[in-house]
Copies of this chain bind each other. A is one copy, B any other.
Amino acid sequence: MPTAHEDARRVADRVERFVRDIVIPYEDDPRRGPHGPEESLVDELRDLAREAGVMTPHIRQDGSHLTQRETALVLEKTGLSPLGPAACNTAAPDEGNMLLLGRAASPEQKARFLDPLVSGHARSAFFMTEPAELGGAGSDPSMLQCRAEPSGNGWRINGEKTFITGADGAKVGLVMAKAEAGACLFLVDLPDPAIRIDGVLDTMDGTMPGGHCRITIDDLFVPADRILGEPGDGFRLAQIRLAPARLSHCMRWLGLGVRAQEQALDYACRRQAFGRALIDHEGVGFMLAENQIELQQCRLMIDWCAADLDAGNNGNVPSSMTKVAVSEALFRVADRCVQAMGGQGVCDTNIPAQLFRETRCFRVYDGPTEVHKWSLAKKLKKGWTEANA
């Protein structure tokens, strides 16, 4: 009888075949768009994913999730193409939102908001980050300004948000706002005229459907039964998805890193210069060797953090460490692949340039590297203080 882990490997293999055979040929589809694939492309790919049995592959029929270690095997494979996560429904922010709703939503909330996400018929957005110029919450959530006021049998929400991934086209929204009891998370049907998309940000990345949006929430009414958990639970609930969502970014982009390395290796083995194949020039060969090492390190960090989560911990420290290590390493991997491929490397048609853009953003998204280091230093001090009390 196969172990669960072997089962996950089989899922991962099926996903890999799907992504390599079916998804990759779509990479030059004009519907990819500068800031994420258009809905019609996502829909088409998802139909193919259902056909191949790889829709939402990390969640089982009964709603249970693979372990994080198993999820890592699968999500890496969806990441082999920039279109893979959207196709297989393992993309941010849906992956994290599904996890959160699976753990914290009421049965009624699950039926209305979670089920269409899991089946891949809806996308979602998490309305958290706020504009810098208004002094809103960026890396520092305590600066949250969006307000929720009780109103009749529900709440009225007002505020501005930015970098709301996937908001354009999403059908499910999770909105963070501050009420008297503290931060709250509200579930909303989208689109809603009270949630205005002011624009899609002109960011360097471009794989997430719906892009990253600038939003105005103008007197949005939310019925009382659509609060997730209790008033004041907002930050606690956000913590549930925090570490796994952060880690799932690492998993997916590791897959794209593997693919970038494949392209760069192929180029370096074929292209001649100064009398030898590029790879036989140490200047290029060493870069690919460094990549091989760093990709392995990424995989090990992800597995380590995943095991920590699987052990029931909140994973905050391991996921901070892993996020920093993986985002910075994959950026270097991308940079070397670009350089190894020279003129071809700087072309957006090739995977290295795409990974380069994605990971440049990843170093900022989900907490910039510096915020994680700051938090790790605090933890180190706390540990020292306790040991020397």
- Cβ–Cβ contact A349 & B300, under 8 A: no
- Cβ–Cβ contact A347 & B202, under 8 A: yes
Tell whether A99 is near chain B: CB-to-CB under 8 Å.
no
A266 / chain B contacts, CB cutoff of 8 Å:
384, 388
Minimal Cβ-Cβ distance residue in B for A262: B384
A376 / chain B contacts, CB cutoff of 8 Å:
288-289, 292-293
Tell whether A108 is near chain B: CB-to-CB under 8 Å.
no
- Cβ–Cβ contact B364 & A343, under 8 A: yes
In the complex with contacts A288-B380, A376-B292, A204-B353 CB distance below 8 A? yes
Segment with Cβ contacts to B, from A17-25, A59-67, A85-93, A276-284:
A276-284
Tell whether A111 is near chain B: CB-to-CB under 8 Å.
no
- Rounded to whole angstroms, the CA-CA distance of A342 and B140 in the bound complex is 12
A140 / chain B contacts, CB cutoff of 8 Å:
273-274
- Cβ–Cβ contact A283 & B286, under 8 A: yes
In the complex with contacts A297-B301, A301-B297, A321-B292, A342-B380 CB distance below 8 A? no
Of the listed residues A129, A346, A360, A363, the one surrounded by the most CB atoms of chain B closer than 10 A to its CB is A346
A181 / chain B contacts, CB cutoff of 8 Å:
none
Tell whether A344 is near chain B: CB-to-CB under 8 Å.
yes
Q: How many residues of A contact B (CB 8 A)?
A: 78
In the complex with contacts A203-B348, A272-B135, A324-B293, A286-B343 CB distance below 8 A? no
List CB contacts (< 8 Å) of A43-68 with chain B.
none
List CB contacts (< 8 Å) of A103-131 with chain B.
129
In the complex with contacts A201-B347, A343-B162, A273-B139 CB distance below 8 A? yes
Of B361, B363, B377, which is within 8 A of A279 by CB?
B377
A365 / chain B contacts, CB cutoff of 8 Å:
343
In the complex with contacts A301-B296, A348-B202, A269-B381 CB distance below 8 A? yes
- Cβ–Cβ contact B381 & A280, under 8 A: yes
Pairs A-B, 4 closest by C-beta atoms:
A285-B377, A289-B376, A282-B282, A283-B370
Sampled A-B contacts (29; CB under 8 Å): A138-B342, A138-B343, A139-B274, A139-B342, A140-B273, A140-B274, A162-B343, A201-B347, A203-B346, A265-B384, A266-B388, A269-B388, A279-B380, A281-B370, A281-B374, A285-B373, A285-B380, A286-B370, A286-B374, A288-B377, A289-B376, A300-B304, A335-B360, A338-B360, A339-B364, A339-B369, A339-B370, A342-B368, A343-B365
